[in-house]
Amino acid sequence: MKILTNNKQESIWAHSIPVKEQLKIFVRLLYFVRPYKLEMILALVGAFLVSVINMLLPFVLQYFIDKYLIKSHPALKLILFFALLFAMGTIMKAIIQFIYEYFYAVGSEKTLENVRRCLYKKMHSLGMRYFDQTPAGSIVSRITNDTMTLSRFLSVWASAVIGIFSLVTSFVAMYCTNKPASLIVLAFLPILLFIIWFYSRNSSRLYRKFREYLSDINTNLNEAIEGVSLIQQFKQEKRMMSLFEKKNIALMKTRQRMILLNAFLLSPLTSLLYSLALIASLLYFGYPLRETFIPAGVVYAFSQYIATFFNPIAMVMDTMTLFQDGIVAGKRIFALLDNPELEPKQSANAKDDNIIFNGKVEFKHVSFSYDGKNEILHDISFSIDPGKTLGIVGHTGSGKSSIINVMLRFYEFYQGQILIDGVDIKNYSKSELCKKIGLVLQEPFMFYGDIASNIRLYNKDITDKELVNAAKNVQADGFIQKMADGYKTRVLEGGEGLSQGQKQLISFARTLVTNPKILVLDEATANVDTETETLIQQGLDKLRQGRTTLAIAHRLSTIANADKIIVLDKGRIIESGTHESLLAKKGYYYDLYTLQTNSEN
């Protein structure tokens, strides 16, 4: 993920996250765990019981060694009894370990499902401005990759909890076994904590740098793949290779430093401290001037407790980088969940009984800005009577699509009024607007499924007869029937295998089958050839019958028969009238039409 800083793109990994913010993110993550507290509590109880059993098992052998093995030759029954007791403890430990790991895994998966569900729900409540400013890949990454990273983060949290239980129970066991020796081992704890702090500080810095370089490499790769034809055409291979090599070497060097740090501070140093603690305790037990004899069982048990004391710490240190990963993933997830760019809200006066009957559309002095600073639409006013067609023309960036965006409530406008049948558009419910306004885009989108589902969009109220009639009316039934499975023909993701014209005709049928009162066409014939355009135009004529139509036109010939045409320039209406009257004026529209006609000829 990249963020803008001083007009430069900077990775989110470029700066460390303050401890206070990390704690805040961690607490918020626990909010998602809360609905599954039963599973997590059972897992915690299981982890605690495993720690207790780890403390008791050495005690069983200690008791056997000191009470029976050293003092006499124990009977076979006694040996078998202690062996069975130890085996039962080990089996019980394995069962409880399975139970707590199972409940923890179930709780974690439910938590991830909860996070993904909240993210998906939030995504559908965001305004179009968010999607304009955020790459689709970044959003997908939040919902998939970052939630999976949280899974690893939760495993770090589990390791930390188990580590704390092991530390406490093993120290209690050592203290109960031999108080002075336990305090000797405890003296190593500050050194261990210092190593953890030092490792965490340096490993997180290196890990952030590693991820930053990795992010740069991914960006470089994406750019190289998407622009490969341009790179080859302008002989930019050496420059691109040099940039990639520079980042790749930096990534390798950072990785080497990480390996060096891990190799020094993880297993070797913790093993050294464990060995020193064990040596110190053994020296204490074997001190020549000691008046009391230390039983062998105590020495054995104590050595096991020391291992239990140090092992979880090494395990937690191994997962430190995953903690950093999880915190950053949490930050990015909450950035999406907290994003204030919501879709426009309808008025508090919006009523379900406000129904669009006729479809008269009026814009009254509407002004609009995408960023709240630079106005795109300036004082736009026009009206369309029911059943009439309005053509909207202008060069790229003139504000054509912005008129559609505010009318369809993709964006909020802050000045003026849009009326449908004399009622403010904000006073209609969202469902009524969706039901009565049909939209056909320049790039029709096809969902994975079949042709029937792409027309019906899984609306069970639409019958098969209505579906076929809609396809026939827009000239789509002909090519659909020629397909092997007709309306059940599979449609791959994005409509692969269908021509642009076929996808456009299916989108016409999709719109017609809902029987909208108002039709919005956003350059519906811009990307098709002339032959296909003729077929689509016939479909459009059927689609427009009896409906109020707003048509953004790329080819001016497609709106020559419109009842009214408005011409936009820099967000203002500079001309309006019929096709003939605008040509007669010999103004801006005349110039556009003449230029386009000459180009086609």
For 525, residues 6+ apart whose C-beta sits below 8 A from its C-beta are 504, 533, 536, 537, 540, 554, 555, 558
For 227, list phi and psi in degrees, rounded to 5: -105, 25
Q: What is the pLDDT of residues 413-466, one digit of tens each?
A: 889 999 999 999 999 988 899 889 988 887 888 888 899 999 998 888 899 999
pLDDT at 4: 42
Cβ pair 362, 418 in contact under 8 A: yes
Query: Strand 437-440 to strand 518-522: parallel, antiparallel, or no bridges (unpaired)?
Result: parallel
Residues in the chain: 601
CA 118 to centroid of chain Cα atoms? 10
Q: Which fold has domain 361-600?
A: Rossmann fold (3.40.50)
574 Cβ neighbours under 8 A, 6+ residues apart: 567, 568, 587, 588
Residue 7 has pLDDT above 50, yes or no: no
> Taking the domains of the chain in order of start, what are their residue ranges?
2-337, 361-600
**Residue 16: predicted pLDDT:** 67
- Closest C-alpha to 276, from 191, 366, 152, 161: 191
* 33: CB partners within 8 A, 6+ apart: 40, 107, 111, 154
At residue 596, φ and ψ (nearest 5 deg) are -70, -40
Q: Is the pLDDT of residue 345 over 50?
A: yes
Predicted pLDDT of residue 526: 60
**Over 60: is that where the pLDDT of 277 sits?**
yes
When mean pLDDT is compared across 249-258, 310-319, 421-430, 588-597, the lowest value belongs to: 310-319
- Does residue 528 surpass a pLDDT of 70? no
**CATH code of the region 2-337:** 1.20.1560.10
DSSP string of 278-330? HHHHHHHHT-TT-SSPPPHHHHHHHHHHHHHHHHHHHHHHHTHHHHHHHHHHH
| Amino acid 496: pLDDT | 80
Average pLDDT, the chain: 84
**Token digits of residue 260:** 């060096």
* pLDDT tens profile 20-43: 888 888 888 888 888 998 988 898
CA distance 521 to 536: 12
The alpha carbon of 477 is separated from its chain's Cα centroid by a whole number of angstroms, namely 39
Residue type for position 543: L
| Single-letter amino acid, residue 363 | F
Question: Amino acid identity of 261?
Answer: L
| Counts of helices then strands in the chain (DSSP H, E) | 22, 14
pLDDT score of 341: 81
| pTM, to two decimals | 0.75
Mean pLDDT to the nearest integer, 216-229: 82
pLDDT, one tens digit per residue, over 46-56 is 888 988 898 88
pLDDT value, residue 229: 86
- What does the pLDDT average to over 179-193? 88
Contact at 8 Å (CB) between 29 and 330?
A: yes
- 374-402, pLDDT tens digit by residue? 899 999 999 999 999 999 998 888 899 89
User: How many C-beta atoms lie closer than 10 Å to residue 544's C-beta?
Assistant: 18
